[in-house]
Each structure stands twice: as C-alpha cells, then as structure tokens.
Amino acid sequence: MPSQKERMLSGQLYKAADPEIRKVNARARKLTRLFNQTTEEQMAYRQELLKELFGQTGDQIYIEQPFHIDYGAHTTIGNHFYANYDCIFIDTAPITIGANVYLAPRVGLYTAGHPIDAAIRNEELEYGYPITIGDNVWIGGNTVVNPGVTIGSNVVIGSGSIVVKDIPDNVVAVGNPCKVLRPITQADQDYWQQQKAAYLADQDLK
C-alpha cells in the first residue's frame, strides 16, 4: 500500500496531515524562515540555504525575499534563475523549472488541488499535479500557474495571467484564462538585437 507521501507525489488523493509529509514541510518552513531573515551581507549563506532547500538547482540562483514554499525537496531549478519578491511555490507535486527562467513579483506556482465535491474536500483529502516550465521563460507579475500545467520554452507570460492549460514554445501568452496572444518571431529578435546594439554603442561613448 503506498504511503501518503507516495500518493501525494503521484497525483492521487492523500492527507497532508500525515507525519512523514509534515516532517518535509517543517524542514522547508525552517529553511525558508532562515532564508527570509538573512541580510544583504549574508549572500553566501543565502545560497547555501537555497541549495539545501530545493531538490536540485543549477548555477546562478537568485531569489528575492520574502519567498515561500511548501516542501522544497519536490522542486528542481535550472541554471540562471531569478525570482522577484513574494513568489510562492506550492510543490505538493513536482515543480520543474528550466534554465534562464525569470519570475516577476508575486508569481505563484500552485501544484495543489482540492476536490470539487465538498463532502470529499471536507475530509481533508487533496491532490497535486506537476508544473513544468521550460527554458528561457519570463513570467509576469501576479501570474498564477495552476496544477498540471506545462509552459514551453522561449515563452513570455503577461502580468496577471491565470495559466490553466499548457502553453506551447515560442509564444507570448496572457489573460484569465491565459491564452496565446501571438508567436515570438524573427522580427522580435531583430528589434531587440537593434536595441542591444544601441545600448552597446551608448556604452562605448561614455
């Protein structure tokens, strides 16, 4: 018979009050509390705490305070990751984040769900479905990503979006519910290369 934790991580109904699950949650609460209490003079210690908190991380991980997460051990993050203020990860199920991902303030990644049927919900049964985010993704402020969603690579999610369905690669998407607005094109790349060239030219003059 699978444990409550095994049920949780496999998307089945489970009870979060289980002692094994509470132990992992208590560990995450302690590490996030310590992280949120660090000062600007403790950058190395911040990195140590993040490396201990998450299941796996790449290089160049930076998270602004405050930050909140349920378990930490169920989240993996790739290289060159940035999360702005007040981000919340509910990693009941696995959260997998690729390389070069930027999260604006108050982005929520919520893998947890509760039954629609009130009688079952009131028995404190819940479930979780994984969230996956590809490489080179920017998610705008106050966006919520719901359970079971996959966001592709090279994607921009507009501010205030509620992402309830998968988002393909190479698009700008926005809205409630979040929908594809348009593809990211060669014209976008050309425009931003021009902006970069202007920036570099300006720097050379100073």
Helices (runs of H) and strands (runs of E) counted in the chain: 5, 20
Q: Which of 78, 146, 112, 145 is nearest to 157 (CA)?
A: 145
Q: For residues 153 and 184, what is the distance between their CA atoms, to the nearest angstrom? A: 11
- Bridge partners for 188 per DSSP: none
Looking at residue 33, its amino acid is: R
Q: How many CB atoms within 10 Å of residue 96?
A: 18
114 is catalytic: yes
Q: Is the dihedral of CA 28, 10, 137, 105 positive or negative?
A: negative
Q: How many CB atoms within 10 Å of residue 24?
A: 17
* Tokens 């993050």, residue located: 77
Active site residues: 114
